[in-house]
Chain A
Amino acid sequence: MTNNPLEQLHVLVVEDAVHMQTLIKAILHGLGVGEVSLASDGAEGLQILRTRPVDIVFCDIKMDVLDGLEMVRMIRTAKDSPNPHVPIIMLTGRTTMADVVASRNAGATEFLAKPVTAEAIYSRIAYVIEHPRQFVKTKDYCGPDRRRRINEMYFGEERRTGTGAIVGSAHAQGARATDAAKIQDEDMVPEDVAGHP
């Protein structure tokens, strides 16, 4: 039994900030991931996905050329998508409700809020491997079942206490706290599957 369970994985990081690419790649290799590919935008990411098998995708939301949300939609729904079920973890510097809902509706699997830590990256990888999500396919959507409540989604930093790090502006923190409190009471069933079992 190998002491490095992640060495068989090929992870794709789609992120337009060069220093973040360097950092995430270094963390992934430090955690033992065998192969890490980098892309600076969604178009480049799709090209890599078509070239060889990818096990997990980390993807920034906002990028030029083809942004993260559009890339996720194409992975999930394009007829020539090489792996429409690949786990996709959205990297987000601002976890507002709008970003979360947009990512969910595009077909993202999980989220990782910046600033990232080695432990958070590992936790996301372990989570998508240990908790594979049921998919749903409708006329307008293909991706993880969106009926899971937002407060069950794995955010990482926001669900931990005592991290000591300043995450975003005070305004953003307030917005996230407000959003989290609001969605606790909401059933996030999207309209197109409402009423279906």
Chain B
Amino acid sequence: MSDKDKFEFFLPPNTLRAKVGGLATLDPTVLAAAEAKLAELQRSYGDWIEADLDKLTSALRQLKDGPESTAGPLAVIEGTAHEIKGQAGTFDYPLLTLIAESLSDMLRGADTIEDRQIELVEAHIDAIGVIIRERIQGDGGTIGGELLSRLRTAARKVSI
């Protein structure tokens, strides 16, 4: 048997089972306490994410004001959108995840951008701003549907 065909199966020792014992069921009061903590943090998220909105609007302003260097502001917008995308759903802001994902995917790897594409970026950031300021959680109902519809219309006019 050549070296590339050699393999070994093994079962590592289960030190965790020895440490914690059986975990058949979770005490319902413990789960309730953890879920209560999650709900508390979900209520705070709207305040936390306002700082992210400030980053987005500030970077957008740089994009619109100065053509000299777009790579920096684009990276800030893409990075902030990536962060929002990864966490907003857990805090019960799934609309933010959708819109931030769209924005992040659109700008990934981009270091230049055309003026008409800046309009689409602005449409995304405006939508994010509405959701954060109005604390639109869940699917957002009629307002959420309207925001997504406007973004799709703006996207159809522009191709990146």
Give residues in A with beta carbon < 8 Å to B.
Answer: 1, 3-6, 8-9, 16-20, 22-23, 26-27, 29-32, 55-56, 60, 62, 85, 87, 93, 114-119, 122, 125-126, 128-130, 132, 134-139, 145, 165-169, 192-193, 196
Q: Point out the residue from A4, A22, A135 that lies within 8 Å of B41, measured CB to CB.
A: A22
The yes or no answer to B115 lying at the interface (CB within 8 A) is no
Identify which of B32-40, B54-62, B117-125, B127-135 touches chain A: B32-40
Q: Point out the residue from A8, A30, A62 that lies within 8 Å of B20, measured CB to CB.
A: A8
| A20 and B87 form a contact (CB under 8 A) | yes
Q: Point out the residue from B16, B37, B45 that lies within 8 Å of A129, measured CB to CB.
A: B16
- Given known pairs A23-B87, A116-B90, the reply for A32 and B8 (CB within 8 Å) is no
Beyond the given pairs A30-B36, A114-B89, 8 more chain A to chain B contacts, judged by CB atoms under 8 angstroms and listed by A's residue number, are: A5-B21, A5-B22, A17-B87, A93-B85, A117-B35, A118-B34, A129-B20, A136-B9
The 4 A-B residue pairs with the shortest CB-CB distance in the complex, in nearest-first order: A30-B34, A115-B89, A115-B90, A118-B34
Q: Counting chain A CB atoms within 10 Å of each CB, which of B7, B23, B34 scores highest?
A: B34
How many residue pairs link A and B with beta carbons under 8 A? The number is 142
Q: Point out the residue from A18, A115, A122, A130 that lies within 8 Å of B17, measured CB to CB.
A: A130
CB distance from B114 to the nearest CB of A (A): 25
Complex contacts, B26 vs chain A, CB 8 Å: 31, 119, 122, 126
Q: Point out the residue from A17, A20, A117, A138 that lies within 8 Å of B6, measured CB to CB.
A: A138
Q: How far is the CA of A138 from the CA of B87 in the complex (A)?
A: 36
Complex contacts, B14 vs chain A, CB 8 Å: 129, 132
| B23 and A136 form a contact (CB under 8 A) | no
Q: How far is the CA of A193 from the CA of B35 in the complex (A)?
A: 42
Enumerate B74-103 residues with CB–CB distance to A below 8 Å. Answer: 82-83, 85-87, 89-92, 94, 97-98, 101
Q: Point out the residue from A30, A116, A126, A145 that lies within 8 Å of B37, measured CB to CB.
A: A30
| A85 and B12 form a contact (CB under 8 A) | yes
- Given known pairs A30-B37, A165-B94, the reply for A19 and B45 (CB within 8 Å) is yes
- Given known pairs A19-B49, A22-B41, the reply for A114 and B90 (CB within 8 Å) is yes
| A136 and B19 form a contact (CB under 8 A) | no
Complex contacts, B156 vs chain A, CB 8 Å: none
Q: Counting chain A CB atoms within 10 Å of each CB, which of B4, B85, B87 scores highest?
A: B87
Smallest CB-CB separation from A30: which chain B residue? B34
Q: How far is the CA of A52 from the CA of B48 in the complex (A)?
A: 32
| B16 and A166 form a contact (CB under 8 A) | no
Q: Point out the residue from A18, A32, A118, A136 that lies within 8 Å of B35, measured CB to CB.
A: A118
Complex contacts, A125 vs chain B, CB 8 Å: 23
The yes or no answer to B139 lying at the interface (CB within 8 A) is yes
